[in-house]
Amino acid sequence: MSEHGAILRAISEPLRLEEIHLAPLAAGQVRVRIAASGVCHSDLSQATGVLPAGTPCVLGHEGAGIIEDVGSEVTHVKPGDHVAIAWIASCGRCWYCYRGELHLCRNAIRDVYSMPYATDTEGTPLFTSMGVSSFATATNCLARAVVKIDDDVPFDIAALVGCGVATGAGAALNTAPVEHGSAVAVIGLGGVGLAALMGARVRGAAELIAVDPVASRREIAIELGATHVIDPSTEDVVQQIKAITGRRGADYVFEAVGRAPTIETSFLATRPGGVTCVVGAASPTEKISLSANDLYIQGKTVVGCQYGSMVPGRDFPMLLNLWRSGALPLDKLITRRIGLGEVNSAFDDLMSGSGIRSVIVNDEVKAN
Ligand SMILES: NC(=O)c1ccc[n+]([C@@H]2O[C@H](COP(=O)([O-])OP(=O)(O)OC[C@H]3O[C@@H](n4cnc5c(N)ncnc54)[C@H](O)[C@@H]3O)[C@@H](O)[C@H]2O)c1
Ligand SMILES: [Zn+2]
Ligand SMILES: [Zn+2]
C-alpha cells in the first residue's frame, strides 16, 4: 500500500501532500495506521519557524490509530490494538524517568530523531515530527510512545489526548494542581487553554476566568463553565482579574498563548503566593521580563509546563475516563473534521482564530 504524508519542505512553505516510504520496522518500533490527527498550534509554529523543525519533515504530533505491525521486541501492543501516540517517548531508564518526570526524559528526543522513519519518493530521508508524524496515512514510531486505548473511544477524541488535552488538562491536574475553591484564570482559549479550563473545573475551581480576543472562543469557554470572560483587546486583563478576585489576583493563571507579553500579564494577574503556569510555547529566542522584587516579596511561583507533566501510560486512560464520565467534554474542542489534503486550511484557521481544533480524519480506517 502506498503511504502519504503532508511534508514541510521548507520553513514558511505550505505543506505538500506526497507519497512517502516508511522504513522497515526496527525491533523496538511499531507501525501505526493513523485514523485521526489534531492540528496543534505547535505544528503551525514549526511550519513558520517559531519553533525548531528539521526539513523536509512530516508534521503532526497529536495522533491516534491502529497498530498494523510491531517490531520483534514489542510485547505491550499487537496488531489491531487502538493507540494514542505520546510525543515524548520517554525511555523509562534515565535519571528523570526514574524520578517519575517522564516529560523531561533526556533520551526521548535523541531516540526518536535517530530511529528509522521514512524517505520521500526520491529516497531523501524525512525528519519525523517528535516521533509521531501523524499528518500521514501511517507512521513508524517507538513502541514506548504508544498507549493502548479502549476500542470504543473515537479516534478523534483519542488524538486530542495525545497533545492538546494532555498538555492543557495536565497543566491543571499535574503541573500546577488546582486546589478546590480556587480562582483560576486561563489566558488563550485554543485547544490547549480550553483543556486547562476543563482540568481546573475537574479540580473544583470556584472562579474560572477565561481570556481571549476571539469572541467565539470566549463563548465556548462559557459553555465549558467559565464564570467570567475578558476580551484583552478592549479590557485591561490584570485590572479585570484583580477586580474579580478581591483585588488579589488569581490563585492560578495558566498562559496558553506562547508569547512574552501574555506570560508577563499572567504573572501580574497572579495573586501573591499564587502560581503562574506557562503552557504556551514561545520561540526559543523570546525573553520575558518579570519584576525580581515582586517575585520574592509577593512569593509567587512561576512554573513551566512541558506536556502537562504527563505519564502517558497512567494519564491517557485517566483523561479518557474523565471524558467518558462527562467531566472533560472533549467533543466541544473539535470544530472541524478534514481530510489530509486540507491540512493547510487548518493552519489558516489557527491563524485567524476560526473554530477551536481541526482534526484530520482518515475515513478509510475502520475499527475492528
Ligand atoms: N507546553 C507544551 O508542552 C505545549 C504543548 C502543546 C501546545 N503548546 C503551545 O500552547 C499554545 C496554545 O496552543 P493551541 O493549539 O491551543 O493554540 P491556538 O492557536 O488554538 O490558541 C491560542 C489562543 O490564544 C489566543 N490569544 C492570542 N493573543 C492573545 C492575548 N493577547 N490574550 C489572550 N489570548 C490570546 C488566540 O486567540 C487563540 O485562541 C501554543 O503556543 C502551543 O505551541 C505547548
Ligand atoms: Zn501540540
Ligand atoms: Zn528517560
Q: What is the mean pLDDT of the chain?
A: 97
- Model pLDDT, residue 21: 98
Domain count, the chain: 2
Mean pLDDT of 337-350: 97
Give pLDDT tens digits for 199-235. 999 999 999 999 999 999 999 999 999 999 999 999 9
Residues 156, 17 within the same domain: yes
**Residues with C-beta less than 6 Å from any ligand 1 atom:** 40-42, 45, 163-164, 167, 187-193, 211-214, 217, 232, 256-258, 262, 279-281, 305-307, 350, 353
Q: Which of 41, 253, 266 to mutate to test the pocket of ligand 1 (most atoms within 8 A of CB)?
A: 41
Task: Mark which of 304, 329, 346 sits at the end of a domain.
Answer: 304
Quick check: is 270 in a domain?
Answer: yes
Q: What is the residue range of 245's domain?
A: 177-304
Residues 23, 72 within the same domain: yes
Residues 146, 110 within the same domain: yes
Residues 103, 209 within the same domain: no
Cis peptide before 14 (omega within 30 of 0): no
CA of 44 to the centre of ligand 2 (A): 10
283 band by pLDDT with thresholds 50, 70 and 90: very high
Of all residues in the chain, what percent carry a pLDDT higher than 70? 99
107 vs 363, residue with greater confidence: 107
367 band by pLDDT with thresholds 50, 70 and 90: low
Task: Mark which of 304, 331, 350 sits at the end of a domain.
Answer: 304
- Model pLDDT, residue 127: 98
Residues 54, 148 within the same domain: yes
CATH of the domain at 45: 3.90.180.10
Atom of ligand 1 nearest to the CA of 258: 41
CA of 310 to the centre of ligand 2 (A): 13
Give pLDDT tens digits for 192-201. 999 999 999 9
363 band by pLDDT with thresholds 50, 70 and 90: confident
Give the phi and the psi of residue 33 in degrees, each rounded to 5.
-80, 115
Mean pLDDT of 272-287: 97
Indicate if the pLDDT at residue 87 is higher than 90. Answer: yes
Atom of ligand 1 nearest to the CA of 40: 15
Of all residues in the chain, what percent carry a pLDDT higher than 90? 98
For 210: left if phi > 0, alpha if psi spans -120 to 50, otherwise beta; the answer is beta
Atom of ligand 1 nearest to the CA of 279: 1
Quick check: is 169 in a domain?
Answer: no
Picking from 92, 122, 121, the residue whose alpha carbon sits closest to that of residue 107 is 92
Residues 331, 289 within the same domain: no
Task: Mark which of 263, 288, 304 sits at the end of a domain.
Answer: 304
Any idea which of 210-214, 254-258, 291-295 has the lowest mean pLDDT? 291-295
* CB neighbourhood size of 9 (10 A): 14
Quick check: is 366 in a domain?
Answer: no
Grid-cell match 472562579, residue found: 207
Residues 188, 279 within the same domain: yes
Q: Which of 192, 219, 237 to mutate to test the pocket of ligand 1 (most atoms within 8 A of CB)?
A: 192
Residues 143, 19 within the same domain: yes
Indicate if the pLDDT at residue 368 is higher than 90. Answer: no
Residues 140, 282 within the same domain: no
- Model pLDDT, residue 354: 94
Indicate if the pLDDT at residue 366 is higher than 90. Answer: no
Residue 127 has what DSSP assignment?
A: B
Quick check: is 92 in a domain?
Answer: yes
Quick check: is 20 in a domain?
Answer: yes
364 band by pLDDT with thresholds 50, 70 and 90: confident
Please report which helix (H) or strand (E) contains residue 207, including its range.
strand 207-211
CA of 80 to the centre of ligand 1 (A): 34
Neighbours of ion ligand 2 (CB under 5 A): 40, 42, 163
Mean pLDDT of 179-185: 98
CA of 298 to the centre of ligand 2 (A): 32
Helix (H, G, I), strand (E, B), or coil: what is residue 14? coil
Mean pLDDT of 291-302: 94
Quick check: is 170 in a domain?
Answer: no
Using CA positions, which residue lies closest to atom 36 of ligand 1?
188
Indicate if the pLDDT at residue 1 is higher than 90. Answer: no
C-alpha distances in Å from residue 161, one per residue of 7, 23, 99, 331, 355 = 23, 27, 23, 11, 18
- Model pLDDT, residue 279: 98
Residues 317, 274 within the same domain: no
Residue 332 has what DSSP assignment?
A: G
Mean pLDDT of 89-97: 97
- Model pLDDT, residue 17: 98
Helix (H, G, I), strand (E, B), or coil: what is residue 237? helix
CATH of the domain at 241: 3.40.50.720
Quick check: is 58 in a domain?
Answer: yes
Quick check: is 99 in a domain?
Answer: yes
Residues 156, 187 within the same domain: no
Residues 8, 120 within the same domain: yes
Indicate if the pLDDT at residue 34 is higher than 60. Answer: yes
